[in-house]
Amino acid sequence: MGRAGRPFQMGEAQMAQLVGVLNMSHGPFTNLAPEKWENVRQSRPPYRSDVPVETEEERVTKAARIRAGIDVMNAKLAEMRPDVLVMFGDDQMENFDFNNYPSLSVYVGDEFKGPDNSTRGKPDEYHTVKGYPPLAVHLLRSLIQSGFDPAFQMQLQNDKGMCHAIMRPLEFFNNYDIPVVPLLANGYYPPQLPAKRCYEIGKAARIAIDAFPEDIRVVGIGSGGMWHTPGRDESYIDEEFDQTLLRYLEKGDIQGMAEFFDSYEVPSGDKSQQVLGGISGMTGMDWISGPQMGTRETCEWIAASAMVDGRPQTIVDYVPVYASPIGTAFAFCDSV
C-alpha cells in the first residue's frame, strides 16, 4: 500500500496527488463572540456612512453562519485525508520586515511554531507544527526552474511565531498535526505581487506537486480575504467586487478572477485604501494594481485555486460582517 493507503502495482511510480483546495477567510471575526463585535467597531476609525450597523440578532445569525462555514471546511479536510498541506498566505510584519521583505518565500524547515488567538505574544504556549522539507525543497527548486525567484526560510527569525495567515486556519481546523508547507506571497505591502503573478505561482506549484516522487496526498489552502481595510478611515465592504470574484471561483475561471482583480482601480478619495503619504505600517511606495490593504489577501485564494484552474468550486457561504467591516467567505474544490 502507498503512504495514504492506496493500492499500487509493483514497479509503479509513486507520485504526489493534489486532492483538493480550500479557501477561507481568517479574520478574528471567524471566532470572535458576536457580543464583542460592536466593541471592535467602536474601537476603530469611523466607517463610511453607508456601512450598516448590525442588530444583536444579525450578529448572532452571522456568527452562526461563519461557524457553520468552518464546520464544512473541517469536514471537507477530513474527507480529503491529506498527508501535507500547502498553504498560501502573507506575512504581515510577523517574521519579515522592511529591512528585507520578499515577494515570495517558501518555508523549508522541519517545524515551526506559532500562536492561536489566545496565545499571541506568549511563545511558551505556541503550537508546534511539522513542516515537510522534502516537498518544500522540491517546490522551492521547481519554482526557481519555472522562472520565479523565491526566498526561503529554514527557521523563523523572531519569537512572534509563524504568521497568522498560516496559524489561524490551523486553529480553526483544530488540527496542528498535519505537516504544512507555507508559501508566503506578499499581498499587503506595496508594491505587492499582482493577482496575475499569484495565478502563475499557483500553476507552477501544481506542476511541482504533480512531479513530486512520493506517494502523498496534498491539499492546497488559500488563507485570507475577502474585502477589508482594517483600521482605516472610512472603511467599507465592496460586496459586488467580492461577489464577482466568487462567481469566477464558482466557474473555475481563476485566470479571469485574477484579471478582474488586477483591473480594479482605487476610486479617487478612497481613504480606506490609501497607501501613500506616511500611512502607518506601509512602505511609502505606490501599488501596482488592484484593490489595496487586506483585500489583497484574496490573491492567496487565486494562487491556491490556480492549482485547480478550470475546476468549479463550491461557495460555502459569504457573510458580510459590517462590524469589522470584512467580507468573510469559504469555498472548496474537491474535484481535481
Q: pTM here?
A: 0.94
For residue 13, the model assigns a pLDDT of: 66
Spatial distance between the Cα atoms of 177 and 130, rounded to a whole number of angstroms: 7
Closest-CA residue to 273 (of 321, 319, 241, 228): 228
- Which residues have a Cβ under 8 Å from the Cβ of 226 and sit 6 or more positions away? 25, 242, 245, 295, 297, 298, 318, 326, 327, 328, 329
For residue 156, the model assigns a pLDDT of: 95
Buried b (16+ CB within 10 A) or exposed e, 308-336: bbebebebbebbbbbbbbbbbbbbbbbeb
For residue 269, the model assigns a pLDDT of: 92
For residue 118, the model assigns a pLDDT of: 83
Identity at 334, one-letter amino acid code = D
**Segment 322-331 mean pLDDT:** 96
Spatial distance between the Cα atoms of 216 and 226, rounded to a whole number of angstroms: 31
CA distances for 302 relative to 89, 94, 170, 225, 243, angstroms: 11, 22, 20, 11, 15
Contact 2, 14 (CB under 8 A): yes
Query: For residue 6, is pLDDT > 70?
Result: no
Domain locations in the chain?
A: 17-333
The CATH H-level superfamily of 17-333 is LigB-like (3.40.830.10)
Spatial distance between the Cα atoms of 20 and 85, rounded to a whole number of angstroms: 10
For residue 218, the model assigns a pLDDT of: 98
Cell of 158: 523572531
Structure confidence by residue, pLDDT tens digits, 138-166: 999 999 999 999 999 999 989 999 999 99
Query: For residue 307, is pLDDT > 70?
Result: yes
Contact 28, 117 (CB under 8 A): yes
**Segment 52-75 mean pLDDT:** 96
Spatial distance between the Cα atoms of 201 and 302, rounded to a whole number of angstroms: 9
**Would you give the end-to-end CA distance of the chain in angstroms?**
22
**Segment 300-310 mean pLDDT:** 98
**Segment 101-112 mean pLDDT:** 97
Which helix (H) or strand (E) segment holds residue 60: the answer is helix 56-80
For residue 121, the model assigns a pLDDT of: 82
Contact 76, 313 (CB under 8 A): no
Query: For residue 56, is pLDDT > 80?
Result: yes
